[in-house]
Structure 1
Amino acid sequence: MQIPNKTYDIIIIGSGPIGIACGLEAKKHNLSYLILEKGCLVNSLYHYPSNMTFFSTSEKLELDNIPFISINPKPRKAEALEYYRRIAVSNDLNINLFEKVLSIESEDETVHSIKTSKGIYTSKKVIIATGFYDIPNYLGIPGEDLPKVNHYYNDPHFYAKQKTIVVGASNSAVDAALEIYRKGGDVTMIVRTPEIGQRVKYWVRPDIINRIEEGSIKAYFEAEIAEIKETSVILKTPEGEKILENDFVLLLTGYRPNFGFLKNIGINISQDEKHIPEYGKESMETNVSGVYLAGVICGGMETHKWFIENSRIHAQMILQDIDKKIKKAS
């Protein structure tokens, strides 16, 4: 196992847009840093659906005033991958990819030991910018582990001419339902609430409502899946139990941060259903001295609260606080 002979000023965990923003700020402050990423560059974004369109316009996704030029009113996934990759490469950011962080142990606020799948590092400060896309919200129902079930959606072509059930009513579920329908899939939506979610992209929500009303996409509202079988699913609906023939099930019921990882570090998590981690609103430093949070992970289960556009500022807030404390200690 690799044991480096230097201590970094900052270890940044996660190479998403906010992790990259933290790296850019570290360079500005002339602080030594290393970004650790368990997958590829902007790993979560890479695993978004292939045809995904952002809710935000391109200028709201920009980092460090570097222009994001898009040919579309709302940029697509491929454009965002190109943008963030070019930033990381052209700025020669210090990033180790495909290296998963396993644990963080803090001797005190200035000495942190970061164990990864490839080595051990020491750092004065740690920034956690890992997002929330890696752990699905499991339903815990019989058959959820069958091969025909997936908690992630990528491309509609796979579901052409197949009976596909989409569970959920958020942006990911609505996008999947519409795309699969338009590629020749037989789509049924299962929605717990009485209607399609209000947070669905404003230009998409009328589309899905109209497709449901005309019968192109079937939908069961105030309904839940009770069990998934090899060739069917059992539903609980206001009209009673229903059995639907089925080929594939997409459980697009949302995702959550890795709370276990945060708790193992010693970060306090609120005991309510929101599971908000403890951090200072001005510094973004957690209750574990020297460990900071950045980006959507700050929202706990409120994964709709923080986006790239409103959490970019975290990088500046954190680096200002770190720079001040490192200079004071030296």
Structure 2
Amino acid sequence: MATAESYRIAIVGSGPGGLSAACRAAEMGDSHILLEAQPHLSNTIYRYQKGKHVMAEPNVLPLRATAAFEAGTREKILEVWHNDVARLKVNVRYRAQVVKIERQASGFKLTLASGGTVLAEKVVLAIGVQGNPRKMGVPGEDLPNIQYQLDDPDEYKGETIVVVGAGDAAIENAIALARQNSVHIVNRKAEFSRAKDGNNSLILGAIEQGKLRCHYNSTPERIEKLAPGHPSGKPMLLRLNSKEGAVEVPCDRIIARLGATPQREFVESCGISFPSEDPAAVPAVSPTYESNVPGLYIIGALAGYPLIKQAMNQGYEVVEFICGRPVAPADEPILRQKFSAFSANPDVEAFLDVLNRRSPVLAAMNRLQLREFLLESRIFSPAVGEVLYKEGDYGNSVFIVVSGEVGVQLDPNDPTKLRPIKAGRIFGEMALISGRPRAATVVAGKDCVLIEVPRRAMLKLISANDRAREYIDRVFTLRALERYLVPGADDAQLKAIVDSARLCQFKAKEMIYTAGDAAEHIHLIRSGSVTLSTRVGTRDVVLQYHAAGQYFGELDVIAGTRRSQTATAAIKTETIRLDAKPFLQLLDRHPQMKAAVQARFRSQIEQRLAMERDPERGARMHFLLGQGLGEATDALLIDESLCIRCDQCEKACAATHGNVSRLDREAGATFDNLHVPTSCRHCEHPHCMKDCPPDAIHRSPNGEVYIQDTCIGCGNCERNCPYGVIQMGVQSPETPSLWRWLLFGRGPAPGSDIHDYPKGAIKKAVKCDMCGTREAGPACVQACPTGAAIRVGPEEFFEVLARGGR
């Protein structure tokens, strides 16, 4: 029997973290082996689409690794890594899938799929979370032209291609392939429920327009090879089991995007524990990356750090820790500089301990998560009285009070009336969660030290950390109650109401309650928007519209009646549902508070009656909400009764933006005299911002959603926008000229659009930015000679509806 090979360190997985660890071990002469299941390095990067631009984030974090890495194309990065592995003589073994890791007295025994074994004193798991592509599991799945990855959709032209799957990857592949091929997509369900909103809109639009065919409620049953000369002219036949019966699809190629087999089962078989059953949960690791199994270390995405630079730094550091060469984390100098707001010579670990105790949000994170969180944040000490943000601003950040306090202005006419927010509390969360403007002005108090957390970092924390999300939701509920529903109440008085809170989620057009239901709850809108409607004759008439940060359902609760209206989610919406009983008990205990609430109650009843007297206004509101104004914060409308079709709005837009118009006046829907052209809505939670790799899309304090020059042209924002207002194009410094183009062939051709660009030109995302750099405001509105073009936000809907658009 062959003797098992023995090493000091066995590194499993050659992704960025494992590669970096192996390169460092090779450089230092440490006994090591790098085990890779595939026949090539870094399978996740290898499977990226050809030409994909790979980012080097976080930008502020220095790279500490023997292997080189900088932002660039997939191909360039893989070439550099292959050269580094050869130069350093890394002991790498390909096609060496590890199927079992067992703890032994002197270390670990690793069993390979081939049957071989490797012994190691220490093991570094750098296997990521993707696993192996999940196959269809049907006869014929190994025939030629069946693949589980799409590198470059432009490689295929004129083929009949079946995409199996209903997730984002399947949708994006199907849409890209449909430009040059006949495409079928197979969805085992009746809808694309797992897809992002933007992709869902894209695929449904493509199906409706006949660009591709969808087989709903269908699953692959078998794949058969067809004989040459078959009448279909295709090499194979996919048989589907569908709701309507058997379906046969002759095709050239099948691309199955069914996700991957999870790594969790294998990881747990190694003895590693997870903190919860949540599929997104990651194992806890020590500051030296050691798991609960002594001697077994975890780095990279499996430990919750998916960014390449983070993983490479961890790979370098874990080898140093294992070999008794301890190093300070790569972020130590950066954090020391950040903590200078507290002390001239701060001890990073000591201050991390202090911060962990100061705030429930910071206490919800482990040490490595906290360091990453702080890297993306700003720690500063503002002067007393400094305005941190103003009422009406749009916010891109949340603040945590570390020491001292800040003051919230209660009366815009009297800046001295302030409600304090003490150390340990957060503020600014309402604008972040709702996507709406800041509700009040906040100024710095004495001895104030703050952490300003950017939008992206806080949303990532909320989505991944239940403790942090629950705390922030509770604060959001308290603030909304204090500001909108029961002003003057303190936290203690509101505790019973907040304790009854429950987060509810609704799809677009889903009913929250209907007329005639018992009025047992009040809803605060966390995100999204809601309409209240009533039945008039044979149709539903929209009477009220409520945006994120507002509440609804309180009128029937106060009146003690059953629901008089139907509440419907205008778009995908989250509400915080509050029990009516503790709310009514609070009002009964505080007559002055009850009188103020009842005064607002009467005002809203009058508004409702005005809407009921003008049902056409409700029809116009229904139209606007259907065009996405339910989530808009600034939308362009055109009054068709005043528009003279001069196109001055488009010309002014083009002249302001490098001769590329971001407005299509004629496109879009019209109701009565209201026209909604194809122009950015500047959504409360912009779809375009959800998946921007370089974080190039931002929102300014005045609400404009704009794209920075750091755009890499990946097209994610174009795909995610449900309103078709983003395009990929190239700006031109020249105005189109017929004579210059005819005589000299120079400059853009008259009538050319942003898709007519020189070969090799860099495409970037193009959209309306509300002319944020123009002091005079949006050029389209300013250039309109008749005043037909107007920009409105949700707070102006009622005014626009009342005058019929004029």
TM-score under structure 1 length normalisation: 0.70
Asked whether 1:131 is paired with 2:136, we answer no
- SS across alignment from 1:312: helix
- Specify whether residues 278 and 209 from structure 1 end up closer, same or farther in structure 2 by C-alpha distance, changes over 3 A only: same
Return the letter of the residue paired with 2:221: I
Say if 1:190 and 1:14 are closer, same or farther in 2 by CA, change over 3 A.
Answer: same
Determine helix, strand or coil for the equivalent of 1:164.
strand
Q: Deviations over 1:265-297 (max 9, x none)?
A: 223356735174633153332232211222233
**Superposed counterparts of 1:184-223, under 5 Å:** 184-191=180-187, 192=189, 193-194=191-192, 197-198=195-196, 214-219=209-214, 223=216
Partners of 2:267 and 2:32 in 1: CA distance: 21
Question: Does 2:322 align with 1:280?
Answer: no
What 5-or-longer segments of structure 2 have no aligned partner? 225-236, 327-806
Deviation at 1:126, TM superposition (A): 0.2
Counterpart for residue 83 of structure 2 = 86
1:256 and 1:63 map into 2 onto residues whose CA distance is 32
Residues 211/196 of structure 1: CA separation in 2 closer, same or farther (3 Å cut) = farther
Count of aligned pairs: 303
Taking a change above 3 Å as real, the CA distance of residues 189 and 281 of structure 1, as seen in their structure-2 partners, is farther
Separation in structure 2 between the aligned mates of residue 122 and residue 232 of structure 1, nearest angstrom: 46
Give the equivalent residue in structure 2 for 1:57.
55
**Which consecutive segments of 4 or more residues in structure 1 shift more than 6 A?**
59-63, 204-210
For the 8 Å contact 1:282–1:317, the answer to whether it is kept is: no
**Deviations 1:185-206, CA, capped at 9 Å, x for gaps:** 2112345554783398xxx999
Q: Spell out, residue by residue over 1:17-66, the C-alpha distance to the aligned partner (whole angstroms, 9 max, x if none).
A: 22111123435766432212233331524752662625x42566977283
Aligned to 1:122: 119
Inter-partner Cα distance in structure 2 for 1:144 and 1:165: 15
Query: 1:163 Cα deviation (Å)?
Result: 2.7
Q: Distance in 2 between matches of 1:122 and 1:11?
A: 8
Match of 1:226 among 190, 206, 219: 219
Partner of 1:136, secondary structure, is: coil
Q: Deviations over 1:202-249 (max 9, x none)?
A: xx99987775564323446xx442343443544657xx6684634243
Relative to structure 1, is the Cα distance of residues 95 and 289 closer, same or farther in structure 2, using a 3 angstrom cutoff?
same
Contact conserved, 1:196 with 1:209, CA < 8 A, in 2? Answer: no
Q: Secondary structure at the match of 2:9?
A: strand
**Partner letter of residue 187 of structure 1?**
V
Q: Give the drift of 1:90.
A: 2.6
Of residues 248-257 and 155-164 in structure 1, the stretch that sits farther from structure 2 once superposed is: 155-164
Aligned to 1:256, the other structure's residue is in SS state coil
1:33–1:287 distance in 2 versus 1, CA, 3 Å: same
- Contact 2:39 2:95 (C-alpha < 8 Å) held by counterparts: yes
Equivalent residues of 1:132, 1:256 under 8 A apart? no
From 253, 256, 269, the equivalent of 1:251 is: 256
**2:148–2:255 CA contact under 8 A, matched in 1:** yes
Superposed CA deviations along residues 62-89 of structure 1, whole A, max 9, x for unmatched, are: 772835363xxxx2x3223212212222
How do 1:234-245 and structure 2 match up within 5 A?
234=240, 243=247, 245=249
Determine the C-alpha separation between the residues in 2 that align with 1:69 and 1:286.
31
Measure how far apart 1:129 and its partner are: 1.5
Asked if residue 289 in structure 1 is aligned to residue 327 in structure 2, the reply is no
- Partner deviation per Cα, 1:144-201 (whole Å, 9 max, x = no partner): 847375434456588644332213355532453244334x32112345554783398x
Matched, 1:111 2:107: yes
TM-score by structure 2 length? Answer: 0.32
In structure 1, list runs of 5 or more residues that go unmatched: 300-304
Q: Could you list the per-position Cα deviations for residues 124-144 of structure 1 after superposition, in whole angstroms to 9, with x for gaps in the alignment?
A: 21012223455233566x658
**Which residue number in structure 2 is paired with residue 312 of structure 1?**
312
After TM superposition, the structure 1 stretch with the greater mean CA deviation from structure 2, 247-256 or 191-200, is: 191-200
Aligned counterpart, 2:70: 68
CA distance in 1, matches of 2:142, 2:300: 33
